[in-house]
Amino acid sequence: MFAKNSRYRTLPEVVSTNARGRKQITKDFRDVAPAAGEFRHVVAGADRLDNVAFKYYDQPTKWWRISDANPDFMSPQALLGMEPIDTARFALHFGGAAAPWTELVRRVRALVGVEDIKVVEEFEIVAEEQTVGGQTVTVNVEHVSRSAIVTYNRMNVGTEQLVGAMETSGFDVGEPQRIGRVGKEIVIPPDAAQPRS
Query: What pLDDT, on the 0 to 100 scale, is given for residue 194?
Result: 45
Return the higher-pLDDT residue of 32 and 122: 122
The pLDDT of residue 141 is above 90: no
Tell me how far apart the alpha carbons of residues 37 and 188 are, in angstroms, rounded to a whole number.
Answer: 9
CB atoms within 10 A of CB 186: 22
pLDDT band at 139; cut points 50, 70, 90 = confident
User: Between β-strands 177-178 and 85-93, what pairing exists: parallel, antiparallel or unpaired?
Assistant: antiparallel
Q: Tell me what the mean pLDDT of segment 158-165 comes to.
A: 96
For the chain, which residues make up each domain, given as ranges?
A: 1-30, 36-81+181-197, 85-178
Q: State the pTM of this model.
A: 0.62
What pLDDT does 34 receive? 62
Residue 196 scores a pLDDT above 60: no
For residue 90, the model assigns a pLDDT of 97
Q: 1 vs 22, which has greater pLDDT?
A: 22
Q: Could you tell me if 66 and 81 are in contact, meaning their C-beta atoms sit under 8 angstroms apart?
A: no
Higher-confidence position of 118 and 28 = 118
Averaged over 90-95, what is the pLDDT? Answer: 92
More reliable by pLDDT, 196 or 35: 35
| Alpha helices (H) along the chain | 49-57, 63-68, 76-79, 101-109, 159-168
> Do 85-178 and 36-81+181-197 fall under one CATH topology?
no
CATH assignment of 85-178, among 3.90.470.10, 3.30.465.10, 3.30.70.1340, 3.30.70.120 = 3.30.70.1340
Just give the CATH number of 36-81+181-197: 3.10.350.10
Per-residue pLDDT, 197: 41
- Spatial CB neighbours of 42, under 8 Å, sequence gap ≥ 6: 183, 184, 185
Instruction: Find the DSSP H helices in 23-175.
Output: 49-57, 63-68, 76-79, 101-109, 159-168
Q: What are phi and psi of 75, to 5 degrees?
A: -150, 160
pLDDT recorded at residue 195:
44
Q: Give percent above pLDDT 90 in the chain.
A: 40
18-22, 117-121, 131-135, 177-181 — which one is most confidently predicted on average?
117-121
Nearest to 146 by CA among 181, 113, 170, 128: 170
Mean pLDDT for the chain overall? 86
Residue 56 has pLDDT above 50, yes or no: yes
Nearest-angstrom CA–CA distance, 20 and 62: 35
Mean pLDDT of 139-164: 93
